[in-house]
């Protein structure tokens, strides 16, 4: 850790305030039961070059911590602000064993010459405040690890000094809460962390204890660490845990996108899924190989990702803020079976899905497997016959090219290409009521771990890699074209209608809402076995496709910037369509540009387009091919998906 103190290297210079009385720190008006809004104190730092101490004024206010110092040479004032958002936590008490160099000293009496340079007595009555911060810097975008140590010794009584340090500590926490941040400690709950020890090439445990646990300790975050021991462990844990909402303030996945998928689908199978999705924000720390969501969240928050993705994602999860995020309901019907699952990343058919899954046999060579298999697939280019149907987003035209133009530094303008001759445009008359999810109001402490502590290996059970190739029959069984209102009145069946006939109108509504709240969200589009109505604006395309890939986050992985226009909660699915007939040269440029987000065509293109939609359906004509959902292979067959806007909340640094 970098121990940054008030030295000339930090440019913390300035004409400090006048020395104050030694009894208590200067404070402004107190609010909310005694906690001041502003604290100010004079500190000194030893300067061996000048053989004297440097005086610094430190002021704590709602904006953060100001450090102010002046120089004698040029009579300039220099100051630094540590923003309250950049402070992750603080600790107070006696001097820590692993104390960083050059703490700021609050002297007993700065009016006495030489007093500030006195050596420490044998019995140190000082109290210390450790402020942990990660300063956000631009150009390049990064976080700088910073530690400020304030030493309080304005009294010979350690208890008095400790009270002063404690006051500063609680004032910092109060200002963070006032800035919209909340921590598990504020609500008396723990943070649930689910860790796959096999993630990160089998180094998940080591990555957590070395990079994540120290940050949690600095931020005083109490957490419950659960280690996955078998496939579907995380899903079953969140699905069956009765005290999930009462005990935990949020859920953090320390793995790749696969474990996040398990947690999401486990939540959606709970009877109280609506409340769980509303009250439990989800976070992700990229300890795995597929890290599309972590990169998308960093992009959304304008936070750095490389070169320390685990550090930056952990800071995001500890920021205490959240943002709504869309979820996509996916329905499959392979071989007369039926499955419903919930996706947060993408659905793929064709080229990218083929490369992702078929290159698994080359996993031993690392990320280069994708490049090698992409070359193989371009040489032996495949196309798939089938029907693609999609429901355009309101006010959108196909294709959206603004992001592609911005990436190429070209003026933004909207181009509308001609549709292929096989496309059938159906006039829109009824809106898709996606996203109208409402709910009625519903009626252990973890031992702190020191930074130098090493987690006991016996706490971790061996686990095998998570596998999602086996489906669980989902409880959702409504697959008709009825609207939600029609489904609402058909919930109870004949016997329930008989009981309701003896109720008042308000009692009937309350009973029906209670029943509806216990059901998983239903589709607002026709079931996969039913034809698409001609009155709802569906566009259908028949033909041969090289690829159809739907994304609802900006990144499919840390280096694939697939949907530049996407936002976490925009209620849109970005459908990238590549039709047969595209040249290998154009496909090669498409693949090479994926990491920069410049792969989308600028204007009209007869073979490649991207369509913002609310729902889509893929009906392959053959029985041979690959389909992926969130990067994992699913059984091949008809598939459809629709967006459910803002269904869950994800941890971010800039909440809504």
E strands along 62-120, which residues? 64-70, 77-83, 87-93, 104-106
The architecture in CATH of the region 185-319+451-458 reads: 3-Layer(aba) Sandwich (3.40)
> Is the distance from CB of 434 to CB of 642 less than 8 angstroms?
yes
Q: How confident is the model at residue 202 (pLDDT cuts 50, 70, 90)?
A: confident
User: Any idea where the domains of the chain sit in the sequence?
Assistant: 8-179, 185-319+451-458, 331-431+527-646, 479-518
**Which of 373-377, 506-510, 561-565 tops mean pLDDT?**
561-565
Report whether the peptide linkage leading into residue 484 is cis, meaning its omega lies within 30 degrees of zero: no
For the chain, percent of residues with pLDDT exceeding 90: 56
Q: Residue by residue, what is the 3-state secondary structure of 209-228? A: HHHHHHHHHHCCCCEEEEEC
**Which of 184-193, 226-235, 437-446, 492-501 tops mean pLDDT?**
226-235
| 257: annotated active-site residue | yes
pLDDT at 594: 95
For 564-580, give one letter per residue: b (16+ CB within 10 A) or e: bbbbbbbbbbbbbbbbe
pLDDT at 586: 96
CA geometry: angle 345, 223, 169, nearest 5 deg: 115
Measured CA to CA, the distance from residue 153 to residue 155 in angstroms comes to 5
Nearest to 511 by CA among 521, 494, 499: 499
| Phi, psi (rounded to 5 degrees) for 498 | -65, -40
For the cut 50, the answer to whether the pLDDT of residue 103 exceeds it is: no
pLDDT at 37: 82
Query: Which has more pLDDT, 32 or 298?
Result: 298
Of the listed ranges 40-44, 486-490, 554-558, 646-650, the least confidently predicted one is 486-490
Task: Write out pLDDT tens, residues 594-645.
Answer: 999 999 998 889 999 999 999 999 999 998 999 999 999 999 999 999 999 9
Q: How confident is the model at residue 215 (pLDDT cuts 50, 70, 90)?
A: very high
Integer CA distances (angstroms), 203 to 40, 319, 550, in order: 45, 25, 31
Task: Write out pLDDT tens, residues 395-431.
Answer: 665 554 444 444 444 343 334 444 343 334 433 333 3
The CATH fold of domain 331-431+527-646: Tumour Suppressor Smad4 (2.60.200)
Run of H or E residues at 648: strand 639-652
For the cut 50, the answer to whether the pLDDT of residue 590 exceeds it is: yes
Query: Which has more pLDDT, 222 or 370?
Result: 222
β-strand pairing of 538-551 with 424-425: antiparallel
Mean pLDDT of 283-304: 93
Measured CA to CA, the distance from residue 29 to residue 541 in angstroms comes to 67
Contacts of 284 (CB under 8 A, 6+ apart): 252, 253, 255, 257, 260, 291, 293, 294, 297, 313, 317, 650
- The count of residues in the chain is 656
Task: Write out pLDDT tens, residues 536-560.
Answer: 889 999 999 999 999 999 999 999 9
Task: Write out pLDDT tens, residues 460-469.
Answer: 333 323 333 3
Structure tokens at 640: 């459809």
Of the listed ranges 104-108, 350-354, 389-393, the least confidently predicted one is 104-108
Task: Enter the pTM of the model.
Answer: 0.76
Task: Write out pLDDT tens, residues 2-21.
Answer: 333 332 233 232 233 333 33
In the set 72, 74, 122, 257, the catalytic residue is: 257
Task: Write out pLDDT tens, residues 48-99.
Answer: 666 667 889 999 999 999 999 876 665 677 889 999 999 999 999 999 876 4
Task: Write out pLDDT tens, residues 353-375.
Answer: 999 999 888 877 777 888 899 99
Query: Which has more pLDDT, 380 or 289?
Result: 380
Mean pLDDT of 478-498: 33
Q: How confident is the model at residue 312 (pLDDT cuts 50, 70, 90)?
A: very high
Nearest to 374 by CA among 58, 591, 613, 92: 591
Mean of all residue pLDDT scores within the chain: 77
How many other C-beta atoms can be found within 10 angstroms of the C-beta atom of residue 486?
Answer: 10
Task: Name the H helices within 409-451.
Answer: none
The architecture in CATH of the region 8-179 reads: Roll (2.30)
Structure tokens at 428: 């829109």
């Amino acid at each position: 850790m970098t121990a940054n103190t008030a030295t000339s290297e930090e440019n913390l210079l300035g004409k400090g305030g006048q020395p104050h009385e030694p009894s208590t720190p200067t404070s402004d008006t107190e609010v909310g039961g005694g906690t001041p809004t502003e604290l100010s104190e004079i500190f000194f730092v030893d300067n061996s070059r000048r053989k004297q101490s440097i005086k610094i004024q430190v002021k704590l206010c709602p904006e953060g911590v100001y450090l102010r110092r002046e120089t004698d040479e040029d009579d300039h004032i220099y100051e630094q602000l540590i923003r309250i958002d950049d402070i992750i936590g603080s600790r107070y008490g006696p001097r820590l064993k692993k104390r960083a160099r050059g703490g700021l000293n609050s002297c007993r009496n700065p009016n006495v010459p030489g007093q500030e340079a006195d050596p420490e007595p044998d019995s140190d009555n000082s109290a210390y405040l450790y402020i942990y911060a990660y300063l956000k810097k631009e150009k390049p975008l990064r976080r700088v690890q910073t530690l400020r140590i304030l030493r309080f010794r304005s009294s010979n009584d350690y208890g008095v000094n400790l009270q002063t340090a404690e006051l500063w500590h609680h004032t910092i926490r109060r200002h963070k809460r006032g800035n919209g941040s909340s921590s598990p400690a504020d609500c008396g709950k723990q943070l649930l962390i689910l860790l796959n020890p096999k993630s990160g090439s089998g180094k998940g445990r080591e990555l957590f204890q070395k990079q994540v646990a120290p940050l949690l300790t600095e931020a005083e975050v109490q957490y419950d660490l659960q280690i996955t021991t078998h496939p579907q462990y995380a899903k079953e844990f969140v699905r069956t845990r009765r005290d999930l909402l009462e005990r935990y303030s949020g859920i953090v996945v320390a793995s790749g996108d696969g474990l996040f998928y398990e947690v999401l689908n486990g939540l959606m199978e709970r009877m109280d899924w609506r409340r769980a999705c509303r009250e439990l924000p989800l976070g992700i720390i990229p300890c795995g190989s597929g890290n599309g969501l972590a990169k998308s969240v960093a992009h959304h928050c304008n936070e750095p990702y490389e070169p320390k993705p685990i550090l930056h994602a952990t800071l995001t999860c500890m920021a205490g803020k959240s943002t709504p995020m869309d979820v996509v309901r996916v329905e499959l019907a392979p071989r007369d079976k039926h499955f419903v699952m919930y996706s947060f990343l993408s659905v793929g058919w064709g080229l990218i899905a083929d490369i992702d899954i078929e290159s698994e046999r080359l996993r031993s060579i690392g990320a280069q497997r994708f490049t090698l298999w992409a070359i193989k697939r371009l040489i032996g280019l495949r196309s798939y016959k089938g029907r693609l149907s999609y429901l355009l987003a309101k006010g959108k035209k196909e294709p959206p090219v603004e992001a592609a133009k911005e990436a190429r530094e070209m003026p933004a303008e909207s181009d509308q290409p001609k549709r292929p001759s096989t496309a059938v445009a159906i006039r829109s008359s009824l809106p898709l009521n996606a996203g109208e999810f409402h709910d009625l109001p519903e009626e252990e402490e973890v031992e702190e771990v020191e930074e130098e502590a090493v987690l006991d290996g016996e706490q971790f059970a061996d686990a095998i890699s998570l596998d999602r190739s086996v489906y669980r029959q989902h409880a959702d069984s409504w697959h008709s074209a009825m609207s939600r209102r029609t489904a609402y009145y058909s919930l109870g069946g004949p016997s329930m209608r008989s009981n309701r006939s003896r109720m008042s109108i308000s009692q009937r509504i309350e009973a029906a809402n209670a029943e509806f709240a216990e059901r998983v969200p239903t589709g607002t589009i026709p079931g996969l076995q039913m034809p698409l109505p001609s009155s709802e604006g569906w566009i259908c395309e028949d033909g041969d496709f090289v690829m159809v890939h739907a994304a609802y986050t900006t990144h499919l992985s840390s280096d694939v910037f697939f949907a530049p226009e996407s936002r976490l909660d925009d209620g849109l699915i970005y459908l990238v369509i590549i039709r047969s007939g595209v040249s290998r040269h154009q496909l090669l440029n498409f693949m090479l540009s994926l990491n920069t987000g410049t792969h989308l065509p600028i204007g009209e293109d007869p073979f490649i387009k991207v369509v913002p939609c609310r729902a889509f359906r893929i009906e392959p004509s053959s029985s041979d091919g690959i389909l992926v959902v969130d990067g994992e292979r699913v059984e091949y067959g008809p598939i459809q998906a629709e967006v459910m806007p803002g269904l869950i909340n994800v941890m971010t640094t800039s909440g809504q």
